[in-house]
Amino acid sequence: MTSVSRVHLPRFRAKHRLPIALIAILLLFAMTSPALARVAGLPDFTGIVERNSAAVVNISTTHKTMIGSRFPGFHLPRNPDPGQLNDFLKKFLEKHGKAPESGEDGDSAPGGDDDDSIETKSLGSGFIISSDGYVITNHHVVDGADEVIVRMSDRREFPAKVIGSDPRTDVALLKIDATDLPVLKLGSSESLKVGEWVLAIGSPFNFDHSVTAGIVSAKGRTLPSEQYVPFIQTDVAINPGNSGGPLFNLDGEVVGINSQIYSRTGGFMGVSFAIPIEVAMEVVEQIKTTGKVTRGWLGVYIQEITRELAESFGLKRPRGALVAQILPDSPAEKAGIQVGDILLSFNGEPLSHSADLPPLVGRVGVGKQAELKLLRNGKEMTIKVTIEALPDDDEIAARGEGGRARKQARLGLLLAPLPKELKEKEKLTSGVMVEEVLPGPAKKAGIHEGDVILSLNNEKITDLDKLDDIVKQLPAGRSVAVLIQREGSPVFLPMRID
């Protein structure tokens, strides 16, 4: 048993006894001393803060919104009184339901005299991961920013370049032109335990380098908006402006990036979420090496197993992920996974909930093989599946709507195989049909919804895969010929590939 130090007060004769108030003060001082606090299990965060504050930065961004583009015919008055202009803009935008998104500090200002625009400023946090100026923050902190400024604890300021960002994990990598910078030590979120003390440093409401502490509330939380991040849930006070700041363990190592709060008021309510540092660094390395982020994809829609479903499928308890839909031409379809299968484990990791699956799949390298254990018709079996790259959201949605349409991002088209009726009517043996024209080269070339693309760059289009292969080889900055059929007549159009 650990012995606890007792506070002994000297004995005095009656005439020299200490006043009761003084005794109370001495007792209070003894109980709140650092030594006694450590004995009682309360951590001392002062060392962590002193060692790491210099590498935590404030990030301010500026977004310029063009008024004329959002409100045709409306122009800012020249040389207005700033106070009157701010009031006028606020009332006008609120009236039209187009109030600009205020930054995390709610600051906004009108643009210059020569430019019908308003500037919206926002604030966030970040931290330095290399002495040559690489900084990590959240994607939503810098998304769409026209200017990003990184401010150090010693009040130095640097313009930052966004090297890349990933909205699916909410991670962004910045670079500032500086050397010999202080750097934070990275730890492991996997070794965290629920109930362990953690600490955050950030700039809530523009109060630079504010320190808050709490405990790990849960691990592996999946939120509806970010299915590929197993969040760390904490009760650390996180508020607007903390986004992108580091979450430390008691060894002073970064174990996560503070990203979101769950709140009914917009302020801290005791539920905060941080991105595990391992997930963030995987994103950072991909951005550094390839300039983009790719992640694994299985191609299934899954749902949670309830007690009733578990009973109907012969499970002793609810667990796993129930396959509700398989997307066409997906890794799951190619591997033979069927609707109604219950996925029990992925690469040896048991699936307690359906939400456990997406983060595990997302972290598998594209082209690598994974092992799925599943339950089918009451029998357990193991299937090998080759993981492919996760398509963009538009293509996934299109495949989910019957599996017909496919987005061709480089051309700016949503394409589908030729319907049987159209083939017979137009006597076509090949080609693909344009279902929707998006901003891009195809729209500039004059391609319309309902057109049939017969050839591209003088190569015959047999199907969607063939078109994708041709598009990958198209030279940038040059015009290519595209043959379409419109209302029964073929016509060539020049299309310049950006």
104 vs 106: CA distance, rounded Å: 5
Dihedral of the alpha carbons of 468, 472, 475, 477, in degrees to the nearest 10:
80
End-to-end CA distance of the chain: 73
Spatial distance between the Cα atoms of 382 and 372, rounded to a whole number of angstroms: 6
Annotated catalytic residue 96:
no
Query: Of these residues, 60, 140, 165, 210, which one is catalytic?
Result: 140
**Collapsed DSSP state (helix, strand, coil) of residue 81:** coil
Structure tokens belonging to residue 312: 């109907």
* Contact indicator for 302, 323 with CB cutoff of 8 Å: yes
Q: Respond yes or no: is residue 243 known to be catalytic.
A: yes
Matching residue, tokens 């899954």: 302
Residue 346 sits at φ, ψ, to 5 deg, of: -130, 115
Question: How far, in Å, are 60, 77, 237, 458 from residue 205 at the CA level?
Answer: 12, 32, 12, 58
Q: Which listed residue (122, 125, 165, 170) is catalytic? A: 170
The amino acid at 17: R
Q: Which residues pair with 345 in a beta bridge?
A: 350, 373
Neighbours of 270 (CB within 10 A): 14
Clarify whether 33 is annotated catalytic.
Answer: no
Catalytic residue among 210, 243, 345, 455: 243
Give the list of residues 6+ apart from residue 131 with CB closer than 8 angstroms, or none: 179, 180, 181, 182, 183
Active centre residues (catalytic):
140, 170, 243
